[in-house]
Amino acid sequence: MSAAAAADSRRVVLPVRGMHSSACVSKVEGALQRLEGVRAVSVDLPSRTVAVEFTPIPGKLDVRGLRRAIEKAGYDVLGESETRTQAESISLLSQQAEQSALMTRLQVALIFSAPLLLARTLNLSAYSALFLAVPVQVWGGWHFHQGLSRALLRRRADMDSLVSLSTWAAFLYSAYVVLFPETLPPAARLTQWEAVSGLIVFVTFGRWLESRTRGKTSEAVAKLMRLAPKTARVLRDGQEVVVPLAEVEAGDVVRVRPGEQIGADGEVVTGASTLDESMLTGESRSVEKTVGSRVWGGTLNKGGVLEIRVVRPGDESALARIVEAVRESQATKPKVQRFVDKISVWFVPAVAGLSVLTAVVWLRWGPEPSFLLAAACAVSVLVAACPCALGLATPLAVLAGTGRAAELGVFLRNAEILEEVGKLDIVLFDKTGTLTEGRPRAAGAITLRGTETEMLAWALACEERSEHPFAAAIVALARERKVKAPKADSVEAFPGRGVLVTSGGLVVRAGSLPWLKEEGVSIPADQALRFSEFGSLLGVAVGDALLGAFQMEDALRASAPAAVAALKDMGLEVYLVSGDRNAAAYRAAELCGIGTVFAEIRPEEKAGIVRRFQIEGKKVAMVGEGFNDAPALARADVGVALAAGTDVAIESADMTLHSPDLMTLVRAIKLSRRIRRVIRENLAWAFIYNLLLLPVAAGALYPRFGVLLRPEYAGAAMALSSISVALNSLRLRRRDV
C-alpha cells in the first residue's frame, strides 16, 4: 500500500451483538477481510467489539459498508467509535440487557420444565406435557432459534445452530409421539421432554454464568477507567474555575487539593506533596513530589496543595493510553488462537456430519427402538460438540491475565507478546535510568581550561533541551548556581553519545569522552588515566579543546539486585548493555550481580548485540527507558520500557512497566508465563472434552456397557465445559503474583 493510502486510512471500532464462539469470530473476520480497502481486522470475543483499519474508497467502502458486511453475515452492529473503550461501553450495555433477557428466559424455562421433569410423579397426561413443553422450546430457547435463522442466512453453523437443531429434533419427535402414536412401534413411543427442557435450561444457564464470569475478567480495566476525576480546578486569570476534565488543555495550570485525584499528566509548578500511585504502578508506598516532578493522571494527592502544568490532557494521559493499550492487547490474538480459529471453521460442519453418520449407524445396525436411539444419539452429538469452550479458551485467559497485569502496572502492546515472553532466554538491561534511579547528580567537576562556571554554562547550552538523565542533573546544578546558558544558534543531538550546539560561531559539545574523541576533541594523555579512575563523566568541549568533565553519580535502584537474582533463578541469562564508561558500567553490574557487561556501546550497537543473540537462536528481552534504547527495544523479541522514560522508548517497546520497582518485571514475566500456561490448559480441556465426550455421545459405550449419554446430560456437560474454562481463566486474577 502506498504512503498516501496509508495516510488516508481510518480506524473504527464497532460493537457487535450476536457473537458467541470462535466460529462467529472467523465469520466476521472473513466477511470484512473480503472487502477491498480493508487493511486489518481485530475481533475481541469477550467484549464483542470489532476493530477495522481500512482505506475509504468513494462509492465502494465506508463505515456503512463495513456495517452492512457484518449484518449480512448475520450479526447486529450497535454503533461505531474511534476507540475500543467507547465501543465496549456500547457493547456492555447490550450485554447487560442480554444477560437480563437470558435470566428471564431461564426463569420461564425452569417454571415450565419442573412439571415436565416430574411428569411421571405428577401423572401428567401426554397433552399436558406437550402444552408445557411449547413455552420451554419456543420462549425459553428463542435466543438459540434466532441464532439458527442467522446461521441459515450466512450459511455457516455455530453453537446456536447446534443447540436449536438439537432441541427442535427432540421436541418435534416427542410431539409426533404424542399426536400420532399409532404410526410408531410401541418401543419407539417414548417422549424426550427431559432432553428438551434439560438442554435449554443447562445451556442457557451456562451462557448466563459465562457472561457473568466474562464481566469479572474485565474488572481491572474498569477500575482503571474509574480512576480519572470528572472535573478539574483550572487557574485562569488568577481565578480557580471548575471545568469538565474534557475541557482541560495542554499548558493549563490545575490546582489539586489534598484527597483529590489528578486528572491529567503534568509537572508540578507550585507546592509539595505525596501521591498514591498504587493504582497505576502497583507500588503501595507513597511518592514525594516537589516542583519539577512529573505526575500522572488518576493518582491520588495525599498531602499538600499542588499546582500542576498539564502536559497531556485527560484523553492523552498515561491513564487513558494505558486503558486503550490494555483493551487493544486483550483484543489481539496469540498465535495459538489463530490456529484454533482455523480449526473451528471446519469443526461445526464436521460435527454435523458426525451427527448424521451416528443416526445412520443406529438406524442400520442398532437394536430396537433403533429410531429412538438414533435420534437421541444424534442430538447428543450435536449438543456435546458445541465449540463454546474452544472459542473462549484463549480470549478469557488473555482478558483476565492482561487485566491482572494492569493491576501490577504492566501493560502489553498485544497478546502475541505472551508467546515471546514464555520463550525468553536472555534479558539485557540498560544502566542509566533502568538499573539506576535515573536521577543522576553532578557530584563534582574536573576542570582543565577556564572556570567551572564557564564549563557549566556551555554544558547547560547543550543539555537544556536534551531528555538524557545527565541533562536534568546539569539543568538542576545550573539552576542551583544561577548560571545562564549562552544562546544556542543550532542544536544537534547524537542519541547515547552527546549534544552539539553552535553559539556565536563556536562549536560546543557535551557528551561521553569516547564520542568527544571521535569528534576530534583533544584529550591530554596525562588526563586520560585520571579520567579512567572515575565512573560516569560528562565531558564539555569548545571547538577541539576539552574544558573538563562533570562527575555524575546515579544511585542504583533498590530493587535491581533482587530482580536480577530472581531472573537468574527463572533460568534466564542477564547482561548489562550500557553506553556509559567501563568503570561506571562494571560498578553497577557488580552491585546487581550481573557477570557480563557491554560498556561504551552506541545505540545502534545495542541493537546489534540483540541481533547477535537472536542469530544464535536465543529469545531476547531488552529493558530500557531512554531515547538511545529505542533501536534495541524495537529489535528485541520483547522490548520492555519504563513508563517514566522517553516517549520514543515506550512507543518502541512491547511491554511497559509503570512501576519503577524492577521486581515488577519479574512478576510480569511470571504472569505472562501463567497466562500462556492457562491458555494451553483451557485449550487442552476443550479438545480433550470433545475427544472423550463425542464417542460417548455417539453411543460407543452402549453395545458393551449399556451406557448412553442422554441429550440433557450432554447439554449440562457442554455448559460445564465453558464454565470450567471461564473459572480456570479467573485464576489469573489471584493476587499471588
Expressed in angstroms, the distance from the first to the final Cα of the chain is 44
Angstrom distance (rounded) from CA 281 to CA 259: 19
Whether the Cβ atoms of residue 262 and residue 274 lie closer than 8 Å to each other: no
Dist. CA 551–CA 535, nearest whole Å: 7
Active site residue 489: no
Burial (CB < 10 A; 0-12, 13-18, 19+), residue 668, is buried
DSSP state, 363?
A: H
Question: In what order do the strands lie in the sheet containing 638-642?
Answer: 410-412, 655-657, 638-642, 620-624, 426-429, 573-577, 596-598
Residue with the three cell numbers 404410526 = 183
The burial class, CB within 10 Å (0-12 / 13-18 / 19+), for 484 is exposed
* Helix orientation angle between 22-33 and 388-408, rounded to the nearest 10 degrees: 90
Cα separations in angstroms, 732 against 184, 255, 396: 54, 39, 10
160, 265, 430, 629: the catalytic one is 430
39 touches 9 (CB < 8 A): yes
- Cβ 49 vs Cβ 87: under 8 Å: yes
CA distance 200 to 221: 33
Residues 6+ apart with CB under 8 A from 397: 675, 678, 679, 682, 728, 729, 732
Closest-CA residue to 16 (of 5, 6, 4, 24) = 24
Whole-angstrom CA distances from 181 to 97, 154, 722 are 42, 37, 38
Q: Cell numbers 476443550 label which residue?
A: 686
Q: What is the SS3 assignment for 124?
A: coil
Q: What is the DSSP letter of 522?
A: B
Sheet holding 273-276, edge to edge: 287-289, 273-276, 300-301
Q: Contact, 161 vs 151, CB < 8 A?
A: yes
User: How far, in Å, CA of 85 to CA of 312, rounded?
Assistant: 19
The CA-CA-CA angle for residues 108, 112, 113, to 5°, reads 105
* Amino acid (1-letter code) at residue 611: R
Q: What b-and-e string marks burial along 260-284, b requiring 16 or more CB atoms within 10 Å of the CB? A: bbbbbbbebeebebbbbbbbbbbbe
The set of catalytic residues is 430
